[in-house]
Amino acid sequence: MTDHESVGAADDAAPSDPAAAPTDPAGDWRSRRREAADAHEAALRARRQAESARARELIARFVADAGARGVAPEPLHAQGYGGRGRYRTPLTGWYLRRDRTVAVGTDGGFYVLTVPPSLAGRLRGVRPEPQDPPLVIGAGGKDGESLDLPVALARALGDAPAAG
């Protein structure tokens, strides 16, 4: 190999310094957007977890206050989607909405009491699972359908007007 051939071969080899490599602007943009979306998702998840932790504290205080004041829990029933049908549950607690679709159980769980319609559920009953409680019930719904959790809990204790 001549000196000229060895210089050409060195030029064709991949550079050892990645910073010297040509960049892909579209790939860089996609990478930055992906990182931004991941950061946004992590922040949203952290905010929801903090909100649920605060809501759990409010619910625990409510359950204790209800017991101390003698506000009796009642058997909780679920509804089929669209309000069709009534389903027995093994739960007792306090309804938080007038339409009886959201409740707090005596176990301190937050329950959304809507279920898919089913004949088996009508015959045997259903077992709703507790969910992460929000600070605003129905947030993002139609106007007038959202309700602050502290207001809903106060109403269930009889400390606030029964509207909503």
| Phi, psi dihedrals of residue 60, rounded to the nearest 5° | -60, -40
pTM for the predicted model, two decimal places: 0.73
Name the nearest CA neighbour of 59 among 14, 13, 1, 109. 109
Separation between Cα atoms, residue 157 and residue 150, nearest integer Å: 11
Per-residue pLDDT tens over the stretch 119-130: 999 899 999 999
Which runs of E-coded beta strand occur in the chain? 74-80, 86-95, 102-105, 110-112, 114-115, 136-137, 147-148
Per-residue pLDDT tens over the stretch 21-58: 567 787 888 888 999 998 999 999 999 999 999 999 99
Separation between Cα atoms, residue 123 and residue 119, nearest integer Å: 6
* Contact status, residue 105 vs residue 77, Cβ threshold 8 Å: no
